[in-house]
């Protein structure tokens, strides 16, 4: 079967279904793709289906529905598949488990739903604690074993974006195992100019306009497993791994203005901070000594605790709050340092960065940043 024939026959059905963004995939059709485990001696699983359907609106609201059907080949994969965990922000997101079942290779029912389900608040770690309103949904499946299929589908709806119009999504066509059927759909307003970066794809994208919506669709099959090698470069830096990044319109300057609006009223040192800084630099001889003393005070004496409640994941707390509590996270401490340096007559600026990687300069999004430092 060609890719195009599979695309139309197994997935699309009709244009109205695509526009509605309901992944009407017949599981029985996918179950028939089950492989002979002997042909995959080094792999513990094979993904019969890896499907993602993303619906986004111009204001940044979005719905993401994922559907994976995994064939278990080896015992070492069982533990990871029989215990599933999903984390979400109940103030901004809604999580729905559409399906979580276990089947035999012929499709017969082993378990129709999780044996145990528990939802709880996510506790803050004792070391470098982060306090945030997050829910954790834990699911325990029964019957997962070699020669079974785990059929899982879930939807995450973002009802209240942190920044209006901000959108970013990454899809990895090349997964950590063989993928027999892969589909990725982004459904957006046709007048929303998405930024799309495709990496090393060996198949084309198909775009369709339906009414006021534009459907971007990537579908392929038989995506080979790329075995990791010691000291090999990251998968996204070679020409083997296929992936897709999609972002909304806008610029980095837009994000800078958005953050400035959150932080500008925090940049006014009060008398208590002035008195504290005077005490910190009392023994300093030069301006450089004073800068080092202030930095050492904030780095060592203000302990790291993050309070990411509401907009607090992005907006720094007022310096007097940080000073009173004796704790703050990166943006709190950076803002306190900027204010303290201003008292010394030193001009400093907040710098948003990604502590674990390099953001794609062509895809502006607040999701690119997870850390803040200070530039003098």
Q: What is the maximum alpha-carbon separation in the chain?
A: 80
Say which residues have a Cβ less than 8 Å from residue 189's Cβ, sequence separation at least 6.
Answer: 57, 58, 212, 213, 214
Task: Check pLDDT > 70 for residue 69.
Answer: yes
Helix 287-301 and helix 330-343: axis angle, to 10°? 150
Q: Across the strands, what pairs with 130? A: 306
Task: Check pLDDT > 60 for residue 264.
Answer: yes
Q: Across the strands, what pairs with 198? A: 244
d(Cα 1, Cα 46) in Å, to the nearest integer? 19
- 20-34, 77-91, 137-151, 170-184: which range is least confident on average? 20-34
- Given this model, what pLDDT does residue 76 score? 96
Mean pLDDT value across the chain: 90
What the chain holds in terms of domains, given with CATH numbers, is 3-249 (2.60.40.3140), 255-375 (3.10.620.30)
Task: Check pLDDT > 70 for residue 6.
Answer: no
**Does the pTM exceed 0.85?**
yes
Range 233-245 average pLDDT:
75
Say which residues have a Cβ less than 8 Å from residue 265's Cβ, sequence separation at least 6.
Answer: none
111 phi-psi bin (left φ>0, alpha ψ -120 to 50, beta other): beta
SS3 188: strand
Q: Using a pLDDT cut of 90, give the percent of the chain over it.
A: 77
User: Comparing C-alpha atoms, which of 287, 329, 286 is closest to residue 304?
Assistant: 329
Distances (CA, A) of 93 to 8, 59, 73, 110: 32, 15, 34, 31
Q: Across the strands, what pairs with 181? A: 221
Q: Using a pLDDT cut of 70, give the percent of the chain over it.
A: 92
Task: Check pLDDT > 60 for residue 21.
Answer: no
237: confidence class by pLDDT, cuts 50, 70, 90: low
- Given this model, what pLDDT does residue 28 score? 83
d(Cα 63, Cα 158) in Å, to the nearest integer? 6
Residues in the chain: 376
Task: Check pLDDT > 90 for residue 230.
Answer: no
Say which residues have a Cβ less than 8 Å from residue 42's Cβ, sequence separation at least 6.
Answer: 227
- Given this model, what pLDDT does residue 238 score? 61
Predicted confidence (pLDDT) per residue in 346-361, tens digit: 999 999 999 887 788 8
- Given this model, what pLDDT does residue 236 score? 56
7 phi-psi bin (left φ>0, alpha ψ -120 to 50, beta other): alpha
- 72-81, 108-117, 137-146, 237-246: which range is least confident on average? 237-246
What the block records as the tokens of 347 is 């001009």
Task: Check pLDDT > 80 for residue 16.
Answer: no
Range 238-263 average pLDDT:
91
Range 369-373 average pLDDT:
93
3: confidence class by pLDDT, cuts 50, 70, 90: very low
The CB density around residue 283, as the number of other CB atoms within 10 Å, is 9
Determine the straight-line distance between the first and last CA of the chain, rounded to whole angstroms. Answer: 61
Rounded (5°) CA angle 146-147-152:
90
Predicted confidence (pLDDT) per residue in 148-163, tens digit: 999 999 999 999 898 9
Predicted confidence (pLDDT) per residue in 285-343, tens digit: 999 999 999 999 999 999 999 988 777 789 999 999 999 999 999 999 999 999 999 99
């Amino acid at each position: 079967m060609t890719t195009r024939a599979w695309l139309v026959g197994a997935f699309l059905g009709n244009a109205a279904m695509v526009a509605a963004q309901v992944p009407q995939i017949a599981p029985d059709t996918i179950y028939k793709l089950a492989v002979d485990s002997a042909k995959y001696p080094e792999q513990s699983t094979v993904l019969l289906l890896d499907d993602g359907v993303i619906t986004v609106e111009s204001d940044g609201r979005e719905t993401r529905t994922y559907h994976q059907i995994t064939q278990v080949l080896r015992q070492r994969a069982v533990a990871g598949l029989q215990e599933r965990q999903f984390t979400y922000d109940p103030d901004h997101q809604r999580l729905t488990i559409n399906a979580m079942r276990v089947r035999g290779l012929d499709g017969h029912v082993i378990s129709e739903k999780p044996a145990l389900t528990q939802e709880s608040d996510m506790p803050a770690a004792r070391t470098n604690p982060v306090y945030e309103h997050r829910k954790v949904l834990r699911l325990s499946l029964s019957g997962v074993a070699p020669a079974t299929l785990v059929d899982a589908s879930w939807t995450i709806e973002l009802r209240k974006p942190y920044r209006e119009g901000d959108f970013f999504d990454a899809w990895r066509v090349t997964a950590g195992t063989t993928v027999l059927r892969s589909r990725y759909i982004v459904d957006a307003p046709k007048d929303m100019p998405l930024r799309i970066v495709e990496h090393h794809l060996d198949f084309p994208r198909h775009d369709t306009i339906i009414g006021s919506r534009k459907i971007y669709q990537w579908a392929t099959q038989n995506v080979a497993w790329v075995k990791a090698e010691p000291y090999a470069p990251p998968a996204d830096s070679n020409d083997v791994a296929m992936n897709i990044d999609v972002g909304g319109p806008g610029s980095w300057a837009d994000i800078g203005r958005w953050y400035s609006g959150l932080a500008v009223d925090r940049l006014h040192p009060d008398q208590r901070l002035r008195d504290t800084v005077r005490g910190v630099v009392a023994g300093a001889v030069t301006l450089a000594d004073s800068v080092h003393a202030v930095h050492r005070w904030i780095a060592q004496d203000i302990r790291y605790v993050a309070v990411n409640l509401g907009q607090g994941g992005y907006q720094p707390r007022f310096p007097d709050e940080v000073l009173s509590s004796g704790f703050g996270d990166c943006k709190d401490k950076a803002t306190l340092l900027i204010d303290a340096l201003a008292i010394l007559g030193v001009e400093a600026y907040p710098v948003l960065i990604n502590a674990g990687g390099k953001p794609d300069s062509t895809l502006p999004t607040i999701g690119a940043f997870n850390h803040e430092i200070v530039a003098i």
